[in-house]
Each structure stands twice: as C-alpha cells, then as structure tokens.
Structure 1
C-alpha cells in the first residue's frame, strides 16, 4: 500500500500543485550543487509525503542520497536520538523528556486522524447520519463501557459486539486519537494492529469493526473519497444526535482538508507533523532539504492528502533553519582563514 500511495502522490502532485494560504509565499533559491546523504525514519503518517519530497528534491540535487524508513513516531524518535538517522518523522508532540535529550523539531505539514468503520457495517447508514459523540468514542476506546453497536441506536436485534482496533506500535496517530479522548495511547482498548495499512485492512474485513487512521490511509487520493471497503465515521461534535451541515465534511477529502484548515475539525485529532533531529542539524544537505520542504515542497501538500502550513507558520519554521545556517557560515569562514 505504501508503494502505491507513493506513486499516486507523484502523479497527482505533478498534475496540479495547488496551495491554499494567505500572504506572500516564501521562496526557495536553488544552490549550485549539494552533495551528501540524508537518513530519515519514523511516522507512517509522514512517510508518503516525505518520500515524494525526497524524489522532487533529488531532481534539483541528484548528488544527494535520501533513505527513508517507516516504523512509527516512536521508532523515529529512538533512531534520531541514538544517532542512527538525521531526521525523525514524527506525528505527535515532542515530550519534555525528549527535548531534554536533544530533540529539536520543525513543523512541516498538517494532517488528522479520523475514526473508520467497515463499509459492510449493518448500521452504516445510521452511523453516517448520526455519527458518534466524543463521549461515546471515549466509552468505546477508553472506558470500554459501550460494547454493543445495537446499544447506541436501541436497535431490537441480537448482540452486535463492537470490535475495536488500535495501533500496536508507538505512533502519533494513536497518541493524538487518545489525546482527543482525554487519554494516553497505552490506555486505548482494542486489538493491536501494526501500522496504518494494518488498521485499514482489519477494519475493512470486519463488519462490526471500529478503528482510526491517518488521512492518507483513509482516503483514496485518486478519487478523494474513502478507500473501498471503509467509511469515515463522522464525529457529532456538538452532541445533538445528528451530523449537522457544519459537521458534514467527511465524504470528500477536499472538504475535510478545509475543515482542518479552518478549525471545524478539532485539534486533536488534527495535528502538526514534524521533522526532528538531535540538536540543530549540521549537514548542509539537511538544511537545504528543510528549507525546500517549507517553500517549494509545500506545493505538493494539498494534492497529496495533507494540509499545508499557513504562511506565518512556515515563516516561523523557516526562521529556525536560517538561524542554524548563519553560525555554520561563520565557522566555515574561520576555518578557511586558519588554513
């Protein structure tokens, strides 16, 4: 699934690179040549976007090698803090403990986690029309006090057990979903499944399932609609027992992206995605890659199923990179004088 998504991202992004933002757009100025190697690991949520960014960046700088591995935010943080990779892909907040160990973050894009059910769910129509409230989702995923689907709508039928699926790996999706439910990942109930693709497959094949996924593993980027076999479960945010017009933005990916941008879809489970290094990165190739991602790289974001950073946020993140580069320039100048 990861390979097919990566190919589709390239096709869609090249067909039309659109960006929604306000104010002057930051620009990238290409350097004559850059060499080096950049290694990244971490969040499944950021893997497809990072892969596309890497492919496009290498068109400018073919002498730069970029190696990317998906394995969850937790693995990315472990790898970067141990010095195994240059950058971690992280889809959650950075903890104070991680910052104390040297974690340095830069926001690169936004996305969200959404609840999903099987298209074959016997109560699919009712669930799509009425949704579930945050309190009901908490009762299912955390408190485990709501265990039967027929209890939700008082359906006179035999028992319909709610089969809950959660992530088995330390990941940003689970952490943000738990945070939305006022909990922690380790407190989420359900059968543990590894990775976003695993959750999609498990829910698709179980008519009584409920799970959660990152946007790009919930929506087909070609049709901009949910993947075949799953439905996005609307959240009844105002808890009035129905999905109002203002809450009805799940059928098409474009609608949900706009809802994330304007705040109608709450944060969490909407969130910022980060690149994280151990201390401020020192390699020139990494600097240029980060600058490019925050400028030209943002052109690929919407078409790829993510939400671009607002320009003021991009400028803030860019300032972090530029503050790193200036001291490096001074060190290089000093070294040349000494020689």
Structure 2
C-alpha cells in the first residue's frame, strides 16, 4: 500500500531529516576537531633600558600578549646604563642593552641575547645655513672627532659651506648606549664627548630641532617617521663621508628614507660602529618559563616586525646562535 503524505507532512519530515544531519555532522566535527592547547603561560615580565630598543620591544610585547594574554609586561625606557644596572640588580627581568657589555658587568652575571640591529646617526638642524653644502660634502670621521672630542672645530664653516656660525654640540646626560656607541666610533668613551648634556633620545632630537646651529646624534627611530619612512621635520641625518674624499658619493647617499639607511647598515656601507647589535641583558641565563618563551618568540615570529619598525634583522645564522642561548 502506497502511503501519500500531505505537503505539510513532507516539509516537516524534510526539516527533521536535515536537523538530524546537522546534529550528526556537528557531533562528528567535535570528535574529530583537535582540542586547542591550554595556554598556561602567565606571569609578569619587567623590562627597562635603552631608548633604541624600547619601541620594538613594546611592539613585541603587544604581539606576544595576543598569543598569551595572561602574561603582563612592565616596560620603561631610561637609557642602556639604567637597564643594565636594573637587570644586574634584579630590579627587572630584562635590561635593554644598546652597547657593548663590560668585563665587570659580565663578572656580575650579565648574560646577553642579541635580538636586532640598528645604528647611531649624527644629526643637525635642517635650517642650518650650510645645509645644502653639508648634505653634498658630508663630514669625515676625523672632523666629527674634532667636533665632539677635541673641540678644535667650532664653526660650521670649518666643515662645509660659506656661512660662519658656531657649532652647538648636544650629547646625552644619561648613561646611554647611543653615546657609548658614537664615542666608540672615535675609540673613546661617553665621558669624552663634549656638548650640552640632554636626557634621552627624544630629548636630544628635540634639542637639535630647536637650535639652528646644533649638532647631535640619535638612534634611527627618533629621526625617521615610520609611516612616511622619511626623516622627521627639523632634524636631518648628517651624512658621513666614509671614504674621506670630500663629497657624498652615490654609494654613500643612503639617508633619504629609513629603508635606504637600514639597507646600508645591513650591507656594511654604513660603518660599525656607529652601527651596532641590540640585545636583551639578563642576570644569568633566563629560566622563568614566560621569559624564555618571550625571548624565543622575539627571535622567531617576532622578527617579522623588525624591518617595518626601522630595525635591521640579524643574519639567520646569528639568530640561531642567539636562540640556542635562550634554550
């Protein structure tokens, strides 16, 4: 006997059949779907130190927290000297180091893992009346030495141009990796640098921006706009005449954008020093789980943020060497 269903009954049966299929499918998916790993990473990581490393470290921390929201960060900039002292005094987990570590600091337990690279760049006020000549001729290493260390060059006319104006030198008041690195370019120490002492990278950039006859030095992140990739208004990189021939040749003219300059640093066209490696400094090898995992992240997935933030990636071999130091 053939059973005939009404239209409404047919719709009801079809709906019930589809519901059963959906429920069955959902059940099967739940069985087959792998259980996501439990994020048991938690704790607080405290960091202080170099202005040079501060911006990228903040970025790394923000991205790391997206993966591990239970991990908190306390990050402050106060200069490499402060960060190293804080780490060796167990006041913070990581000291941001932008200079070489001394033998005395190593004896105290300093353990450094390098995470990226950048450079210190000499700067001058873009309104300097000799600006065009300075950009065309650049400044030789010995001339910088005689400005910042011996003081025998006191007038911009002695460097380039025809307008006689005094050179106002600005340097860092805090124990700074930038100052140590710039002084190392002349085989000197920060204490050997002349000039009006100003606190911090932002402060030094601002001092040069306000004084038309100023000369100073800064880390890349404070003289380039990361959005436009060009130099910030008022402060200009003072080109280094690397080969000392009295002019900026095509292969020395790489200051137009931060990308041009970082490429020059990576390929060795820009001298080292003032180019340098930047590192995380610990008192002894890091052991806290959240700390070790953060360092591993920085040296692996975190490297994708290096270029866009105005830093230079370490070589793959160097990254592997540093990664082993964290394991």
Alignment of 1:66 with 2:66, yes or no, is no
What does 1:120-159 correspond to in 2, within 5 Å? 120-153=127-160, 155=162, 157=163, 159=164
Q: How many residue pairs end up in the alignment?
A: 291
Change (3 A) 1:240 1:185: same
Q: CA RMSD in A?
A: 1.1
Q: Which residue of 2 aligns with 1:97?
A: 104
What does 1:20-99 correspond to in 2, within 5 Å? 32-99=39-106
Structure number with larger C-alpha Rg: 2
CA distance in 2, matches of 1:119, 1:43: 26
CA distance in 1, matches of 2:186, 2:240: 12
Alignment of 1:266 with 2:243, yes or no, is no
What does 1:142-291 correspond to in 2, within 5 Å? 142-153=149-160, 155=162, 157=163, 159-291=164-296
CA distance in 1, matches of 2:203, 2:51: 11
After TM superposition, the score normalised by the length of structure 1 is 0.84
CA distance in 1, matches of 2:158, 2:274: 26
Per the TM alignment, residue 33 of structure 1 is displaced from its structure 2 partner at its CA by 2.8
**Runs of 5+ consecutive residues of structure 2 not aligned to the other structure:** 1-36
CA deviation vs aligned residue, 1:8-59 (integer Å, no higher than 9, x gap):
xxxxxxxxxxxxxxxxxxxxxx984301111000001001100000000000
**Secondary structure of residue in 1 paired with 2:221:** helix
Bigger relative contact order, structure 1 or 2, given CA contacts below 8 A and separation 6+?
1
Report runs of 4+ in structure 1 exceeding 3 Å deviation.
none
What does 1:108-123 correspond to in 2, within 5 Å? 108-123=115-130
**Runs of 5+ consecutive residues of structure 1 not aligned to the other structure:** 1-29, 323-339
CA distance in 2, matches of 1:31, 1:109: 31
Per the TM alignment, residue 151 of structure 1 is displaced from its structure 2 partner at its CA by 2.3
After TM superposition, the score normalised by the length of structure 2 is 0.87
